[in-house]
Structures are given as C-alpha cells and as structure tokens.
Amino acid sequence: MVAPLQARLFLLCHLTMSKTILITGATRSGKSQLAEAKIAALGLPAIYIATAQVYDSEMAARVKLHKDRRGTQWQLRHAPRDLCTALDETDGGPPRLVDCLTMWLTNLMLDEADWQAESYRLADTLARMKTPVVLVTNEVGWGIVPETRLGRQFRDAQGIVNQRIACVCDEVYLAVCGLPMKVKPQ
C-alpha cells in the first residue's frame, strides 16, 4: 500500500510530467529567472541544458552569473546544436530547463545547418516528452530592422522558431520587467 503523501506526490508528478513551458521576452526581462523558478517549483535537482558557447570573456561572465544563481542542485548538459538528442536522453529524469533557443538558433545558422528542419524536429521532440521542459527564448523582432542581411534572416528565423515551439507548448509566458504575463492558454 502506498502512503497517502507518496500517493499525492505520485499523482502530482504524473499530472505535471508532460508539461512544456516556453518563456519569451526581451533581453534582461527576467526570462531565465522565471524559468528557473518554474523548474524549482517542480522540485530540485533539475537539469540545465545550456546552448550557449563561450567565445569571449563577456560571455564567460554571463555563463558564470547563471551558474552562480542556480546553485549546485542543477546538473549541466551542454547542447549547443543537438538539442533534440539532449532532450531525448534526459527524458524520464528530472525536469529540464533549456536556456536558450536563441543561442541554439544562432549556433545552427552560423554552422549553416538546416534550422528549419531542426526547428520542426524540436517541435516533434517536445510533443513527446514525458518529463517537464521549460524553454527560454528571445523576442528579437520588436526593435529596429537589422542592418545586415544575416541579422534580418536571424530575426525572421527566430520569430518562426518561436511560433513553432509555442504551438506545441502547454504554456507560454512573456517576461516583462521580471514579471510573467501568461500568453497560453488564455
């Protein structure tokens, strides 16, 4: 016989296991902190799937800030390009936080990979997840039109990726001044 507390925890875990959440917003809008709080509410330890690549000291400082804020109860998985494999290999374990889709897309585009196919693959992967996934992305189309061709292509691609991923997520939040505005479901 399962103890009442264990039964409630079992039920709670199974009710939330398939949840996928997308948190979007502008730079320094509080997206990562909101995503970390969502994951922490599910219970730690958790898995942090990092997509950034460190090429300079400024990026190293950003990564350190994120690591220091999270603390030691997070496992780290580095997936700058093959995000789907990282998600598949960690499914069934602790909840996962993907930070962020913008860096992932940047890596794909700079490698001249087929970002369209990869974004469809990611949507399919997320749709079959058993354990929670919270994803962070950026809204990059609210500013001025980028000066360069690559900048314009990236802005358009990020908008398309965000739409595809939002479609398969159970919840979508827009981060504004550190506050979550629920976009989906309404």
- Quick check: is 8 in a domain? no
- Quick check: is 1 in a domain? no
Task: Confirm if 104 and 80 have CB atoms less than 8 A apart.
Answer: yes
Residues with pLDDT less than 50, the chain: 1-17
- Quick check: is 12 in a domain? no
Given the residues 42, 43, 66, 183, the one annotated as active site: 66
Give the count of domains, the chain.
1
The whole-number pLDDT of residue 114 equals: 98
The whole-number pLDDT of residue 122 equals: 98
| Buried b / exposed e along 75-105 (16+ C-beta atoms within 10 A) | eebebbbebbebbeebeeebbbbbbbbbbbb
pLDDT, one tens digit per residue, over 34-52 is 999 999 898 889 999 999 9
The whole-number pLDDT of residue 38 equals: 93
The whole-number pLDDT of residue 18 equals: 54
- Quick check: is 168 in a domain? yes
78 labelled catalytic? no
Domain assignment of residue 41, given as a range: 21-184
Where does residue 35 rank: exposed (0-12), middle (13-18), buried (19+ CB within 10 A)? buried
The whole-number pLDDT of residue 19 equals: 92
Q: What is the CATH number of the domain that holds 144?
A: 3.40.50.300
Tell me the residue ranges of DSSP E strands in 56-131: 74-78, 96-99
pLDDT, one tens digit per residue, over 15-35 is 444 599 999 999 889 999 999
- Quick check: is 158 in a domain? yes
The whole-number pLDDT of residue 13 equals: 40
Sheet holding 46-50, edge to edge: 74-78, 46-50, 96-99, 133-136, 20-25, 171-176, 179-184
